[in-house]
Amino acid sequence: QQQVKQSPQSLIVQKGGISIINCAYENTAFDYFPWYQQFPGKGPALLIAIRPDVSEKKEGRFTISFNKSAKQFSLHIMDSQPGDSATYFCAARVVNTGGFKTIFGAGTRLFVKA
Amino acid sequence: AAGVIQSPRHLIKEKRETATLKCYPIPRHDTVYWYQQGPGQDPQFLISFYEKMQSDKGSIPDRFSAQQFSDYHSELNMSSLELGDSALYFCASSLDWGSGELFFGEGSRLTVL
């Protein structure tokens, strides 16, 4: 019940196109949904995040759409650029008895063709 | 700006040996998390500490132990290493127990031969 399911596993997009990555969850106790971007050999870095009381958040070319009733959220990358080529992880945070835990999706490898 | 510092960046060990990874969180961050990431895998939560006390435990093997010290740095100790322990180990820190954002270090790559 603490899983976060992410799709697709990999994605190839033309430069200037829209990249869409989807995630779904079951646990309604999740209270924070971040997206992390990871380049090879580097640690994940926070890209954008949303809380469940908001349906959409936009930061530059990156937008999170959140559907609370469907327990789904997605990342849209507009005007995708070759520099966006990286692995993207959706995540969800839950409060346990001991504290907060962030659960990651399996990741999506994005490749933007020049 | 100061980031999370991990050492060593690379480590090669033999089976059944012991390894220790160190993590220095961002100054004033009071929570430290350890994650293990296998090749092509998502980061798997191992353990976390808040104010030097273990706050949560994930899929950490019994052969592993960790602690957070008075200066907030943390160490992950791994004993009786197995081939399957080869992975990238990330440390992340956050400010305040309630903050959602994790700041990751660049990772320590452990190779067990």
Name the residue of chain A whose CA is nearest to B49's CA. A99
Predicted confidence at residue A8, as pLDDT, reads 96
pLDDT at residue B48 is higher than 80:
yes
Asked if A106 and B41 come within 8 Å (Cβ–Cβ), the reply is yes
| Strands A108-113, A10-14: pairing kind | parallel
Of the given ranges (A10-14, A101-105, B102-106), which has the lowest mean pLDDT?
A: A101-105
DSSP class per residue in chain A? ---EEEE-SEEEEETTS-EEEEEEE--TT--BEEEEEE-TTS--EEEEEE-TT-SEEEETTEEEEEETTTTEEEEEESS--GGG-EEEEEEEEEE-SSSEEEEE---EEEEEE-
pLDDT at residue B14 is higher than 70:
yes
pLDDT at residue A88 is higher than 90:
yes
Taking chain A, what is the end-to-end CA distance rounded to the nearest angstrom? Answer: 39
> Residue A34 CB: number of other CB atoms within 10 A?
21
Pick from B42, B47, B88, B101 the residue to mutate for testing the A interface (most A CBs within 10 Å): B42
pLDDT at residue B8 is higher than 90:
yes
Name the residue of chain A whose CA is nearest to B109's CA. A41
Per DSSP, which regions of chain B are E strands? 5-7, 10-13, 19-24, 31-37, 44-50, 53-57, 64-68, 74-78, 87-94, 103-104, 108-112
Which of A44, A93, A99 is the closest to B100 by Cβ?
A93
Whether chain A has a CB inside 8 Å of the CB on B45: the answer is yes
Predicted confidence at residue B56, as pLDDT, reads 83
Question: Percentage of chain A surpassing pLDDT 90?
Answer: 78
Which tens digits make up the pLDDT trace of A42-80? Answer: 899 999 999 999 999 999 999 999 999 999 999 999 999
Whether chain A has a CB inside 8 Å of the CB on B50: the answer is yes
Query: What confidence tier does B50 reach under pLDDT thresholds 50, 70, 90?
Result: confident
- State the smallest CA–CA distance between residue A106 and chain B in angstroms: 5
Predicted confidence at residue A2, as pLDDT, reads 62
Which tens digits make up the pLDDT trace of B52-108? Answer: 888 888 889 999 999 999 999 999 999 999 999 999 999 999 876 556 788 999 999
Predicted confidence at residue A98, as pLDDT, reads 64
Pick from B97, B102, B103, B108 the residue to mutate for testing the A interface (most A CBs within 10 Å): B102
Q: Per-residue pLDDT averaged across B3-10, rounded?
A: 96
Predicted confidence at residue B97, as pLDDT, reads 59
